[in-house]
Amino acid sequence: MATGLYRELSLATVIRHRAAINAFVADHSVTAFAGFVALYIGVVALSIPGASVLTVSGGLLFGPLVGALGAFIGATTGASIIFLIARSALGGWLVKRAGPFAEKLADGFRRGAFSYLLFLRLVPLFPFWLVNIAPALFGIRFVLFVAATALGIIPLTFAFALFGAGLDSSIAAQASAYEACRAAGRDPCVVDFDVRLALTPELITALAVISVVALVPLAIKRWRGARDRDTI
C-alpha cells in the first residue's frame, strides 16, 4: 500500500481505462476481436479458470452479439483442442487431474452421450475443463462432442455477454455523472454507483436467461420422475 497503487483500484480508474479500451476497439476492431478470440481459446485449451469472466468482458467490449460470437468461437475451439489433447499421449496425465470427478460423469455418458453432454453444457454442474476432458476419456466421438458443445453453450454464452453489455451501459451512466461533476468544477468528484442505474434492460434479460437455465435440472428431474412412474 505504500506505493499508492491501492488508490488506483477504483471505479473511476475503470472508467478512465474503459475510454482507452473503447478507442482501441473502435480503431482496431478486427485486431481486438481476433485477440479476444485467441485469448479465449488459450484460456480454455489450457484449462485456466475464468472463461465466464472473459464472456462478460466480450459483451462489455464488443456488445452482446459480437461478444457472444467471440466467446462462442473461443470456447468451442478451445474445448475441441483440449478434447483432442486428452486423446493423445497426455491423456494419462489429464485422467489423473480429473480424479474422482471423471468417474461421476461416466454413468451419464454411458446412458446417452449426446444428451448428457448437452445437459452438462446447458447447466454447468462441473468445471468447464472437466467436461472438455471427460468425453475423450469415455470414447465419445469428436463430431458428437463438438456438436453438443456448440449447441449447449449458446444460452449461457449469450446471457453472460448480454450481462457484460448491460454492465457497459451502467458504467456509461456513472461516467456521465462523473464527467459532469468534473466539468462543473466541483471537488471532490466521486463515482457514486447507483444500483438502480445498473438494472439496465440488458442486465435484467441476462439474469432472466441465467435463471431459466438454472431451472433446467429441476425440470429434467421432474420429467424423469414422471416418466419412471408411467413405466411402472
Look up residue 184 and give its DSSP letter: T
pLDDT of residue 39: 92
Q: Alpha-carbon distance 202 to 1, whole Å?
A: 37
Q: Cα dist. 142→37, 93, 97, 133, 188 in Å?
A: 22, 20, 21, 12, 58
Mean pLDDT by 10 residues, the chain (232 residues): 42 60 87 94 87 85 92 95 81 61 67 79 77 82 91 87 77 69 71 56 68 62 59 56
Q: Please, is 210 exposed, middle or buried when counting C-beta atoms within 10 Å of its C-beta (0-12, 13-18, 19+)?
A: middle
Q: What values do phi and psi take at 22, rounded to 5?
A: -55, -45
Q: Return the axis-axis angle of helices 29-45 and 11-27, rounded to nearest 10°.
A: 110
Report yes or no: 110 and 103 within 8 Å, Cβ to Cβ.
no
pLDDT of residue 210: 67
d(CA 21, CA 18): 5
| pLDDT score at 9 | 36
pLDDT at 103: 64
Residue 145 pLDDT: 92
The C-alpha cell that represents 6 in the structure block: 491501492
The contacts of residue 79 (CB under 8 Å, 6+ apart) are 44, 128, 132, 145, 149
Long-range contacts of 9-17 (CB under 8 A, 24+ apart): 10/191, 11/171, 11/174, 11/191, 11/193, 12/178, 12/190, 12/191, 14/171, 15/171, 15/174, 15/175, 15/178, 15/191
Pick the closest to residue 133 from 160, 162, 97, 107 (CA basis).
97
Alpha helices (runs of H) in the chain, residue ranges in sequence order: 11-27, 29-45, 51-62, 64-86, 91-98, 100-111, 113-122, 128-137, 142-152, 154-183, 195-198, 201-214, 216-231
CA separation for the pair 97, 113 (Å, rounded): 22
